[in-house]
Amino acid sequence: MRLSWFIQYALLILVLTGLPRPVYAFEPLNTDDAGTIGKSVNQIEQYFYVLHNNAPGNPGSVATPGEEFRGLGNAKAFPFTYTHGVSDTTEIAFSTTYYATPRGSYSPFSNNIVSFKWRFWGDGQTGLGMAIKPAITLPASTSQQVQGLGLAKTNYEFNYIISYYWDRIQVHTNISYARNPYNTNYPISGTYSPYQINLVSGSIAPVWIVNSWLKLALDIGSSIDTSPNAAAVNDYGMVAAIFSVNRNVDIGLSYLQSSTTPNNAWTSKSIASDRTEVGVTWRF
C-alpha cells in the first residue's frame, strides 16, 4: 500500500536528520500537543488553506478546529486562532474562519470555536505530558450549513491529549469525541443523507526537530461515526514542516489527504480530498 511505503520512507529520512531542541506550536497539524503557551502569553495563528473535496457527503478533512469545510468542490479560507495563557498549565482560545471561496448570500465567517486546554500532567517540554481540551463550536446560519461552511446547531468536542518528549523526538496522540448535531430541515452541501453526528477519533503525530529552525512531522488519524445506521470512517495522512524564524514566530506548511480508507486517500482522487495549508504563528 502506497501510504505504508510513504510512512516508512519518511520515518527513515527524518530520524537521520539531526539534533532537536524544544520549540513551540503545532499548527498546521491536526493532532494537538499537551503543551501550553504559559501564563499571560498571547498567541495568534493566521493560516491560509486550499481544499479540494471530491467525496460527496464527506468532510474535506478530519474535524480540525477552525478548518471545517463540508462542501463538495473547492474552498479557500483563512482560519484564525487567538490563544491566551490563563496560567502556566491552562489556556483559552477562540477560532474563526474567513471563507474567500465559496461565497454567497451569507457571512464569510464561520466555524466560531471556543476551547479550553488544561495540562494536568508534566511540564509540556520533557517526559510525559497529558492534557484535556473541551471545545464548543457556535451555530452557523442555515445558509452556511447548506453551503457546507458549518452546522446550524451548537457542536461540542472533548479531546484527551498524550505527549511524550524525548531528546530527539516528540510523539503526540489524541483521542476525542465530537457531537456534531445539525439542522435536519436543511441539506449539507446539497444532500439530506445522514451526516456524521457522533464522531470518535484518534490520531498520532511523531515530530522531529532537524535543527534550531526546522521541525518535520507526520500526522495520521482516523474517525468513525458511531450514530446508529450512519456509521462512516474517515482516515487522513499529513506531512508538515514548521520553520522557526525566532523563538516567538513560526511558519507552518502542511499537505493532507483524506478519504474513507487510507488506500483511497492516496490512490483515488475521485473519492479523496486534499488540503494544502500555510501560515504563521506569533507569540507575544
Instruction: For each of the domains in the chain, give its residue range(s) and CATH number, in order of start.
Output: 2-210+220-263+277-283 (2.40.160.40)
* Average pLDDT across the chain, whole number: 84
Strand partners, 249: 246, 282
SS3 sequence of 134-148: EEEECCCCHHHHHHC
The per-residue pLDDT for 274 is 87
The per-residue pLDDT for 265 is 45
The per-residue pLDDT for 15 is 36
The per-residue pLDDT for 56 is 54
Q: Rounded distance, CA 22 to CA 94, Å?
A: 25
pLDDT at 12 over 50: no
pLDDT at 6 over 60: no
| Three cell numbers, residue 72 | 463538495
Strand partners, 256: 238, 275
With CA atoms as reference, report the closest residue to 228 among 194, 275, 201, 257. Answer: 194
- Locate the DSSP E strands across the chain: 42-53, 73-85, 90-101, 109-121, 127-137, 155-165, 170-179, 198-209, 214-225, 233-246, 249-259, 273-283
| pLDDT band at 179; cut points 50, 70, 90 | very high
The per-residue pLDDT for 261 is 53
Cα→Cα distances 25→41, 83, 280, Å: 13, 11, 10
Q: Which residues contact residue 241 at a Cβ distance below 8 angstroms, ignoring those fewer than 6 apart?
A: 214, 215, 216, 217, 252, 253, 254
Which 8-state DSSP code applies to residue 270? G
Q: What is the pLDDT of residues 261-281, one digit of tens each?
A: 544 444 555 557 889 999 999
The per-residue pLDDT for 8 is 44
**Higher pLDDT, residue 262 or 282:** 282
Say what the pTM is: 0.85
